[in-house]
Amino acid sequence: MKRKSSGYPGPSKTPQILQQRDIKGHGASGAARRKMFTILSWPSRIPVPKLSFPECVVERFRDGHSLRITCRTREDLRDAATEAMAYRDDLREKEERHSFRGASGSAIPSLPDDHDDSRYALADWVMEQKDARLALEAIAEWNRTLGVWCACAMAETCLRLVPKGRKGPHLEIEMAKRWAQGHATAEQVKRIAENEDPHALHAGFSSAMLAGSEAIEAAYTAANLVYVNRNRVGRNAYSLAGTVASAWAYEHGYEPDTAKWDAEVKSRLADLRETILLAIHYYPGRLVASSGGLVEPSTIIAGIIGLTIGAGVAHAMKKT
């Protein structure tokens, strides 16, 4: 059986250097050298990104369709190029999905202040989406912690397909859920995920092996959402939902790019919205929007405890 061709590169893939050369610096000694990378395909409609690397210069070429990145070290250059290309691809994919998502998009509306009412409102919104990919993508971009919680619930539906004896995917999901509950750090999740090779079973071509491979990749991607760069959170969440649906299709022996495959994946993506509903119902946190950056739930909990203790001490001192 052939393997499906995914429209989204996995979170572990890095771009190839298309054009790279040393250029002389202009320091006092004249000996400083910098590394340059050219992204040849950069549409003029996509703005120049702001990259999070020191001494990194990003500029558009005169032709308007290329981007030049200059960094001090080769390592910074590769990371900066990865971030820039992810930014470009993310905007491209959102444009491509615009017609499927509808003119209004899939933005999460303002939720009521009441705890229960907000859950019901978000659940209604999830069921209004055409499939689970759109719902999970928007949720992950709106609130990373909630996105990780829902992604873990989705990945758990196919963990039974992981080959016996392989515990890595189960540990990844368990640690990511602990992070969402405030009981683990992003570094701990990353350490578990980096010990697991999500592509280890891609050499197998039986239905069971391919289904197991997709389940392993889904667990890895769910854990990856904890610490991935913010401009890839939504993209990876969208990809995860498709991976889970593909695992189910492989389990039933369907061939990719066939009518039966497409029908099975479409059906599973619709059903997976209910998995998101259950995850929202059992989510331990509050349903509020976050900036998309990496803020440890444990840090938030510690801050709340600290404020509570501080208020109690101040009240006691006032009484005395």
pLDDT (tens digit, 0 to 9) for every residue of the chain, 320 residues total?
555 544 444 444 433 333 344 333 333 333 345 677 777 667 776 788 888 777 788 888 765 667 888 888 888 888 888 888 888 877 766 655 543 343 334 678 888 888 888 999 999 999 999 899 999 999 999 999 999 999 999 999 999 999 888 889 999 999 999 999 999 999 999 999 888 766 555 445 678 888 888 999 999 999 999 999 888 899 999 999 999 999 999 999 888 888 999 999 999 999 999 999 999 999 988 888 875 444 455 544 444 444 344 445 444 444 44
* 5 burial type by CB count under 10 A (0-12 exposed, 13-18 middle, 19+ buried): exposed
Q: Give the single-character DSSP code of 174.
A: H
The DSSP element (H or E) to which 58 belongs, if any, is: strand 57-60
pLDDT of res. 206 = 77
The DSSP element (H or E) to which 275 belongs, if any, is: helix 259-282
Q: How far apart are CA 73 and CA 212, in angstroms?
A: 39
Q: Which of 269, 265, 242, 241 is nearest to 154 (CA)?
A: 241
Q: Which of 285, 9, 275, 35 is nearest to 136 (CA)?
A: 275
Q: Please say whether the dihedral angle defined by the alpha carbons of residues 155, 192, 225 and 206, taken in this order, is positive or negative.
A: negative
Using an 8 Å Cβ cutoff, are 297 and 179 in contact? yes
pLDDT of res. 302 = 45
pLDDT of res. 92 = 66
**Residue 126, token pair as written in the block:** 């999830």
pLDDT of res. 63 = 58
Crossing angle of helices 132-142/233-251, nearest 10°? 150
Using an 8 Å Cβ cutoff, are 121 and 112 in contact? yes
pLDDT of res. 108 = 86
